[in-house]
Amino acid sequence: MLLKNKRRDLESKIVKVKSAVVAFSGGVDSTLVLAIANDVLQGRVLAVTAESDSVSDRELEAARRLAQILDVKHKVIKTEEMSSPNYLSNPVNRCYYCKSELYTKLAKVASENNMATIFNGINLDDLGDHRPGIIAAKEAGIISPLVDSKLNKQDVRDLARQIDLPNWEKPALACLSSRIPYGQPVTAKKLLMIENAEEVLLAEGFKQVRVRHYGNIARIEIPKKDIPDLLKYERYEKINISLKKIGFQSIEVDPKGYRSGSLNEALSLKDKNS
């Protein structure tokens, strides 16, 4: 299907609802859903962003700025996944508990604001990855308009660029807890270490960054093409010193480079289906 036809299909599906809360992370997927919904529903839209230890301050502020640019109503709510033992133990379906908490809070916001529907930004490609949060979305009756209109990640970026969204080429997002290997407890201290470590790398000019928390080791993932720049002696030493100040004893650079959901590579088929 041509992109213009997918856009029409997306608009036709969204316009069927009277009003909508959009789970808005500030990533390109949820931004596209928000922009299209705000247009076709003529402003009967409320963007809602979660604030928690697992969301970096940088991303929260970026979501606020985007909502202002799009001129949409925006609400930031605090989610309490960090109070759930199921979440903190970091099982392979950790994301399920996080999204269940989010969607429960969104349902309350929708009710308080007389909003008929809740949208998320899941796209077609997400269905092929290990994403337990999708189960939580189905249980909560959340609508995924990008999936319904068969838009994959590239379609989303192309359409976002076409309608001039400022974040159309923004790297994929993931919560800070996704940097901690399954089975290793999630703590506020670890999340802060990860956030600060990634800020160091972003300040060095690397745009797509993951710092995986392996106990005392910070395992860095950046695109393979950028690894030679990271390994330049003075830059590497500067980063090494900065991350040690944060609390890591040593750093490693993943030779495979950045890839989304790399911690899922160790999961069995049984785990992925859980």
Q: What is the CATH number of the domain that holds 237?
A: 3.30.70.2210
Q: Which two tokens stand for residue 161?
A: 């660029």
* Residues 15 and 150 both lie in one domain: yes
Stretch 60-75: mean pLDDT, rounded? 97
Query: Which domain CATH number covers 96?
Result: 3.40.50.620
In a domain, residue 274? The reply is no
In a domain, residue 168? The reply is no
Q: Which two tokens stand for residue 226?
A: 């950028």
Rounded-to-integer distance, Cα 179 and Cα 265, Å: 13
* Residues 199 and 149 both lie in one domain: no
In a domain, residue 44? The reply is yes
Q: CA angle, 40 as apex, 99 and 140 as ends, to 5°?
A: 20
Contacts 24+ apart (CB under 8 A), 142-145: 142/23, 142/103, 142/106, 142/118, 143/17, 143/117, 143/118, 143/119, 144/119, 144/120, 145/10, 145/13, 145/14, 145/33, 145/36, 145/37, 145/119
Per-residue pLDDT of 157-183, as tens digits, reads 999 999 999 999 998 888 999 999 999
Read off the amino acid at residue 81: E
* Residues 138 and 30 both lie in one domain: yes
If one counts the domains in the chain, the total is: 2
In a domain, residue 193? The reply is yes
In a domain, residue 170? The reply is no
Per-residue pLDDT of 178-215, as tens digits, reads 999 999 999 999 999 999 999 999 999 999 999 999 99
Q: Is-above-0.75 flag for pTM?
A: yes
Element (H, E) at 212: strand 210-214
Structural domain range at position 68: 3-162
Shortest CA distance to 74 belongs to which of 17, 113, 131?
113
Instruction: Assess contact for 11 and 40: CB atoms under 8 A.
Output: yes
Rounded-to-integer distance, Cα 264 and Cα 230, Å: 25
pLDDT at res. 9: 96
* Residues 107 and 61 both lie in one domain: yes
Task: Classify strands 73-78 and 45-51 as parallel, antiparallel or unpaired.
Answer: parallel
In a domain, residue 272? The reply is no
pLDDT of 108 > 70? The answer is yes
Instruction: Pick the last residue of a domain from 140, 162, 184.
Output: 162
pLDDT of 267 > 60? The answer is no
Q: Confidence band (pLDDT; 50, 70, 90) for 259?
A: confident
Q: Which two tokens stand for residue 103?
A: 């969607």
In a domain, residue 219? The reply is yes
Element (H, E) at 252: strand 250-253
Rounded-to-integer distance, Cα 238 and Cα 242, Å: 6
Q: Confidence band (pLDDT; 50, 70, 90) for 269?
A: very low
Read off the amino acid at residue 74: H
Please name every residue paired with 252 in a beta bridge, in sequence order, or none if there are none: 219
Q: Which two tokens stand for residue 125?
A: 């490609």
* Residues 155 and 243 both lie in one domain: no
